[in-house]
């Protein structure tokens, strides 16, 4: 072989090797799998080079003092997070060194004990993060009174790096404002998730307790990262079987997995379980046999789960059994169960979402009518859990009058994270703005500034227990929540539970940075989309204070014409009150007078057409179609304008997202783009169906420049979505 040819071959081989090395590098540098959303906001992607060097100097070793599973979880998460963010494994150290991150409590760490830190006032779950000098070394310490505080502190430090905040010169203290920060899973025992749009239940009762899917731990990590400390495992329309040994063994397995992450498990208990499980002829809460049964059941549960949180109960609502079946009150029922749990430190969370077949008054009024007379009668370990609005998780509702009306009762907040009434998983609707609106509303219970947030965090009435819960939106879809953007609602629920006064925008921004990246060219458009998204849904579904116009049963899509259901208050037509003359639900003194359930200041504002505002106009007033708003338009015209604006807002979101092409990893980009296309179609469907229907009542022409619906009313009425997901009874 001639020299030249040999040289050529060597060169080729070298090029080949370089190519191979290059390819290997590329493969190593990229995540092994395409991003699909599984990692949620805990992606721990590498921060950019210059910042990375700075962070590395303050995160050279991890010095975790303590042996508990919670400290181990905290240290493990810190190491995992830093490895991703800083692109290298940060070793565990044994002694103080420059750049060490020191974790511990005064009890677990001699170093922290020696520092006499101001940990008072931080409670069990609070933490302190400080940059200090220890023996001549620069150290970042994360300290709490208890291990779980350290865990929360670790997630906070990670968040600082994830959102590219400095981690030098730190002096940060924080503690949750609400005691019980919960997710309520409406999961049936066959894994069907009621109002679930993200696949099957995460809990695989069939393979538990032997097989402990690693996903359970990832779920707990995600919850702990946002401060969730309680999980109700099963649907409020509960099956008594969950209280049998077969399930309790499995509940124990989950509780054992969640415990290191600061999470307690709770169960939805069926009120008539003593009968349903075949033991007794009655479930009367004042019957001693029933009391004994529940006490024995509680003792049994605590043998499986020593830190069991307690029961969530939906009683005498939508057909569930309850104390009223035995001519007893909600307080009788709740107190009896609370008594059984009290010696173990458990609580009863008793839902105020009740409306009974016997009560024909405005649905708005019913929860208050049943619960307000019971003020002062509930035990200390009972929390009455109230939905944010008086109707039912609608895109917009005023706050429930029960907030502010029962100062001697623990009142907790129930939000719905899963978007039963806001477009399921395919509509992008960030709920942070809705929750902010609800929490900032002023009840005037103790004069101005008596916000719902202050009722919920206990700072207004100083009750012994506080709670903020969300109906979970998780399932076994790879992306957990059914869509990328619905993860933001899970995230926000935790942040609002931690601090009900947090800003929806700040939460959106943190989430966007952690979930999509820190580049302002990504963060700004995404936060912009999120902040306007819920108003868009209100506009194209139920503008101007309309509510409950969703189709029957599954609640998927519009059904404003429905008026033939068995109960008056299941019918959209009942809620919008539209007829030839006008539209709206009169809840003033000339109507149901529901406004009287509010403090006088609030009642006056909502009761007066001049002060009610557009957002709640038709929620509280019935007005003629020609009634003129501040915008100068009639109600009819304004309705058309709002419906149309909602569709335009979705189009704008699509354009914004399209502008992010190439900046977002392809799989997640494509999913969001596809879902936004669905949302636009469905927004148009909502607009057209509602306009077609309301026009059949108003018989007025559309304002100039607004396109008529694509089809006639009958076409929309014929749409049948009986197979829509998440139904109550599949």
Catalytic positions? 318, 392, 420
Min separation Cβ 414 and ligand GCW, Å? 8
586 in contact with ligand GCW (CB under 6 A) = no
Nearest C-alpha neighbor of 551 from the set 415, 690, 645: 690
Say which residues have a Cβ less than 8 Å from residue 644's Cβ, sequence separation at least 6: 687, 706, 707
Closer to ligand GCW by CB, 115 or 193: give it. 193
Candidate list 41, 152, 186, 461; residue touching ligand GCW; CB under 6 A: 186
236 in contact with ligand GCW (CB under 6 A) = yes
Min separation Cβ 393 and ligand GCW, Å? 5
Say which residues have a Cβ less than 8 Å from residue 513's Cβ, sequence separation at least 6: 162, 163, 164, 523
Closer to ligand GCW by CB, 185 or 621: give it. 185
194 in contact with ligand GCW (CB under 6 A) = yes
393 in contact with ligand GCW (CB under 6 A) = yes
392 in contact with ligand GCW (CB under 6 A) = yes
Min separation Cβ 269 and ligand GCW, Å? 14
Cβ neighbours of 214 (radius 10 Å): 8
Min separation Cβ 424 and ligand GCW, Å? 12
Candidate list 601, 615, 671, 728; residue touching ligand GCW; CB under 6 A: 728
Say which residues have a Cβ less than 8 Å from residue 655's Cβ, sequence separation at least 6: none
Closer to ligand GCW by CB, 353 or 485: give it. 353
Candidate list 237, 239, 592, 656; residue touching ligand GCW; CB under 6 A: 237
In angstroms, rounded to a whole number, what is the distance separating the alpha carbons of residues 202 and 193? 9
384 in contact with ligand GCW (CB under 6 A) = no
Query: 432 vs 204, 331, 437, 501, 507, CA distance in Å?
Result: 30, 32, 9, 11, 8
Residues β-bridged to residue 542 = none
Closer to ligand GCW by CB, 392 or 586: give it. 392
Min separation Cβ 237 and ligand GCW, Å? 5
How is residue 432 written in tokens? 């942070």
Residues β-bridged to residue 134 = 137
721 in contact with ligand GCW (CB under 6 A) = no
Candidate list 195, 250, 547, 548; residue touching ligand GCW; CB under 6 A: 195
Closer to ligand GCW by CB, 314 or 419: give it. 314
187 in contact with ligand GCW (CB under 6 A) = no
Closer to ligand GCW by CB, 195 or 270: give it. 195
Min separation Cβ 349 and ligand GCW, Å? 13
Measured in Å, how far apart are the chain's first and last C-alpha atoms?
Answer: 77
Candidate list 159, 314, 547, 554; residue touching ligand GCW; CB under 6 A: 314
Contacting ligand GCW within 397-436 (CB under 6 A):
420
Min separation Cβ 314 and ligand GCW, Å? 5
In angstroms, rounded to a whole number, what is the distance separating the alpha carbons of residues 324 and 316? 7
How is residue 127 written in tokens? 């933490």
Helices assigned H by DSSP within 448-599: 452-456, 486-498, 504-516, 520-541, 572-576
How is residue 274 written in tokens? 């003593």
Closer to ligand GCW by CB, 308 or 353: give it. 353
List the 171-174 sheet strands across, edge first: 61-64, 100-104, 137-143, 127-134, 171-174
Cα 710 to its chain centre, rounded Å, is 36
203 in contact with ligand GCW (CB under 6 A) = no
353 in contact with ligand GCW (CB under 6 A) = yes
In angstroms, rounded to a whole number, what is the distance separating the alpha carbons of residues 702 and 689? 14
Nearest C-alpha neighbor of 81 from the set 151, 155, 140: 155
Min separation Cβ 320 and ligand GCW, Å? 8
Residues β-bridged to residue 414 = 387, 469
Which of 276-281's residues contact partners 24+ apart within 8 Å by CB, and which partners?
276/240, 277/240, 277/241, 277/243, 277/244
364 in contact with ligand GCW (CB under 6 A) = no
Contacting ligand GCW within 459-488 (CB under 6 A):
none
> How many positions of this chain bind ligand GCW (CB under 6 A)?
12
In angstroms, rounded to a whole number, what is the distance separating the alpha carbons of residues 463 and 537? 36
Closer to ligand GCW by CB, 181 or 555: give it. 555
Residue ranges binding ligand GCW (CB under 6 A): 186, 194-195, 236-237, 314, 318, 353, 392-393, 420, 728
């Amino acid at each position: 072989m001639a020299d030249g040819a040999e040289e050529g071959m060597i060169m080729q081989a070298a090029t080949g090797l370089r190519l191979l090395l290059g390819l290997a590098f590329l493969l190593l540098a990229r995540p092994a799998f395409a991003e699909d959303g599984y990692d949620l906001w805990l992606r721990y992607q590498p921060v950019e080079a210059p910042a990375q060097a700075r962070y590395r100097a303050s995160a050279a070793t991890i010095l975790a003092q303590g042996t508990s599973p919670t400290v181990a979880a905290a240290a493990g998460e810190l190491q995992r997070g830093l490895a991703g963010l800083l692109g290298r494994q940060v070793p565990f150290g044994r002694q103080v060194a420059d750049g060490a991150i020191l974790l511990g409590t005064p009890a677990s760490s001699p170093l922290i004990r020696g520092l006499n830190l101001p940990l008072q006032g931080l409670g069990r779950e609070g933490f302190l993060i400080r940059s200090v000098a220890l023996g001549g070394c620069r150290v970042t310490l994360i300290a709490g009174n208890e291990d779980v505080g350290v865990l929360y502190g670790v997630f906070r430090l990670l968040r600082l790096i994830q959102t590219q905040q400095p981690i030098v010169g730190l002096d940060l203290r924080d503690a949750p404002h609400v005691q019980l920060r919960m997710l309520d899973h409406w999961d049936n025992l066959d894994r069907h998730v009621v109002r679930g749009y993200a696949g099957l239940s995460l809990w695989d009762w069939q393979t538990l307790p032997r097989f402990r899917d690693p996903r359970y731990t990832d779920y707990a990590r995600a919850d702990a990262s946002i401060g969730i400390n309680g999980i109700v495992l099963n649907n409020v329309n509960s099956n008594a079987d969950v209280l049998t040994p077969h399930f309790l063994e499995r509940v124990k397995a989950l509780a054992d997995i969640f415990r290191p992450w600061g999470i307690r498990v709770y169960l939805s208990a069926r009120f008539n379980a003593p009968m349903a499980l075949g033991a007794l002829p009655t479930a009367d809460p004042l019957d001693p046999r029933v009391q004994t049964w529940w006490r024995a059941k509680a003792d049994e549960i605590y043998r499986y789960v020593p830190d069991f949180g307690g029961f969530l109960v939906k009683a005498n609502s939508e057909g569930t059994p309850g104390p009223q079946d035995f001519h007893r009150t909600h307080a009788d029922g709740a107190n009896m169960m609370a008594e059984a749990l009290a010696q173990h430190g458990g609580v009863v969370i008793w839902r105020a979402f009740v409306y009974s077949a016997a009560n024909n008054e405005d649905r708005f009024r019913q929860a208050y009518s049943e619960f307000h007379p019971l003020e002062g009668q509930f035990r200390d370990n009972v929390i009455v859990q109230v939905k944010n609005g008086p109707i039912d998780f609608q895109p917009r509702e005023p706050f429930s009058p029960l907030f502010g009306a029962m100062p001697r009762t623990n009142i907790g907040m129930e939000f719905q994270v899963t978007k039963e009434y806001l477009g399921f998983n395919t509509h992008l609707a960030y709920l942070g703005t809705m929750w902010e609106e609800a929490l900032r509303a002023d009840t005037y219970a103790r004069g101005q500034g008596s916000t719902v947030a202050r009722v919920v965090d206990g700072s207004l009435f100083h009750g012994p227990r506080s709670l903020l819960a969300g109906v979970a939106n998780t399932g076994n879809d790879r992306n957990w929540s059914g869509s990328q953007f619905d993860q933001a609602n899970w995230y926000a629920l935790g942040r609002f539970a931690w601090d009900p006064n947090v800003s929806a925008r700040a939460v959106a921004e943190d989430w966007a940075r952690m979930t999509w990246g820190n580049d302002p060219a990504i963060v700004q458009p995404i936060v912009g989309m999120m902040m306007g998204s819920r108003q868009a849904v209100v506009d194209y579904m139920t503008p101007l204070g309309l509510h409950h116009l969703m189709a029957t049963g599954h609640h998927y899509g519009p059904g404003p014409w429905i008026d033939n259901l068995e109960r008056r208050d299941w019918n959209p037509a009942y809620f919008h009150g539209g007829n030839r003359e006008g539209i709206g639900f009169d809840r003033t003194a000339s109507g149901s007078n529901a406004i009287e359930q509010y403090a006088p200041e609030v009642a006056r504002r909502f009761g007066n057409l001049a002060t009610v505002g557009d957002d709640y106009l038709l929620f509280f007033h019935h007005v003629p179609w020609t009634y003129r708003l501040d915008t100068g338009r009639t109600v009819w015209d304004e309705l058309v304008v709002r419906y149309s604006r909602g569709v335009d807002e979705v189009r704008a979101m699509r354009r914004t997202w399209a502008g992010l092409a190439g900046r977002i990893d392809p799989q997640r980009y494509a999913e969001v783009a596809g879902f936004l296309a669905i949302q636009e179609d469905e927004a148009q469907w909502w607009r057209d169906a509602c306009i077609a229907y309301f026009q059949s009542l108003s018989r007025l022409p559309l304002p100039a420049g607004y396109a008529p619906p694509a089809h006639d009313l009958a076409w929309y009425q014929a749409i049948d979505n009986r197979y829509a997901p998440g139904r109550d009874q599949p």
